[in-house]
Homo-oligomer: A and B are copies of this chain.
Amino acid sequence: MVVHELSETEIDRIFHAMADATRRDIIKQAMLREQSVSELAKRYVMSFAAVQKHVAVLERASLVAKQRRGREQIVQANPESLRRAARLLEAYEDIWRERANRIGEILSNQPEGTEP
């Protein structure tokens, strides 16, 4: 299976996009139900343009995609990017687990008589 490896820049964009509560909520909303940008904008106490910018940030991170429907722009979540980010964090956990194993191995390989 070919796994699309994320470039450092892509990872930067995904985490940066997730580092804002409004954007995290937009993702959640879009996952629950596809919505137009103006529909989403009504939920937040900020200008339409601000929400538009947040959506653009999510789009650059491939976390959402926009699709025109008449005069509306429908925001649809792309869970694949999110999944990749989750797997990435798990990779760090793996590093930690590996280290724990390594340390455990060193301890159990101690020659006799070295215990205090």
A: residues with CB less than 8 A from B are 8, 11-12, 15-16, 18-21, 24, 27-28, 31-33, 77, 79, 82-83, 85-86, 89-90, 92-93, 95-96, 99
Contacts and interface: CB of A to CB of B under 8 A. Distances in A.
Main secondary structure of the interface of A (DSSP, over half): helix
A85 B96 CA distance: 15
A92 B19 contact: no
B28 A11 contact: no
A86 B95 CA distance: 14
Contacts of A77: 96
B24 A19 contact: no
B96 A31 contact: yes
